[in-house]
Amino acid sequence: MKQDFFDRVYKIVAKIPKGKVTTYGAIAEVCGIKSSARTVGWALNGAKMSGLPCHRVVNRLGALTGKVHFGDIHLMEELLRSEGVEFDDEGCVIMRKYFWQPKKIKKSKKK
C-alpha cells in the first residue's frame, strides 16, 4: 500500500511543468488520500536523489518547507528562480501565478 502511494506521488511529481509548483496536499488529494500531505513529504524525501523535480513541491502557502532536504537550504529557491518562479516578500512562491493543479492518475488495469 505504502509503495503504491509513493509510486503515485512520483508519477505526479514527474509531471509538474517547469516554472510551476504544486503542493503536498494537492498531490495527496489526487493520490486518493487527501489527508496524507505529510506522507507525500516523506515520499519526496526518499526521492531526493531520483532526478524528480521535487523542488517544485511547496506547502499550501507557497513556503519552501522541504528546503532542508536539499543539502543547501538555498538550493530549492535557486532552482525555482532559475525556472522563472517568483516569490513574495515573505519568501513564498506567488501561488496564484505559479500553482499547478495535478490531475488524478488513472489506475491501470491489471491483466
* pLDDT at residue 1, rounded to an integer: 47
> Residue length, the chain?
111
| CA–CA separation, 97 and 85 (whole Å) | 9
In the predicted model, residues of the chain with pLDDT beneath 70 are: 1-3, 105-111
| CA–CA separation, 64 and 71 (whole Å) | 14
Grid coordinates 519568501 are at which residue? 91
Q: 2-98: what fold?
A: Arc Repressor Mutant, subunit A (1.10.10)
| Residue spans per domain, the chain | 2-98
pTM summary value: 0.89
C-alpha distances in Å from residue 67, one per residue of 45, 62, 76, 91? 10, 12, 6, 12
Pairing of strands 57-58, 22-23: parallel
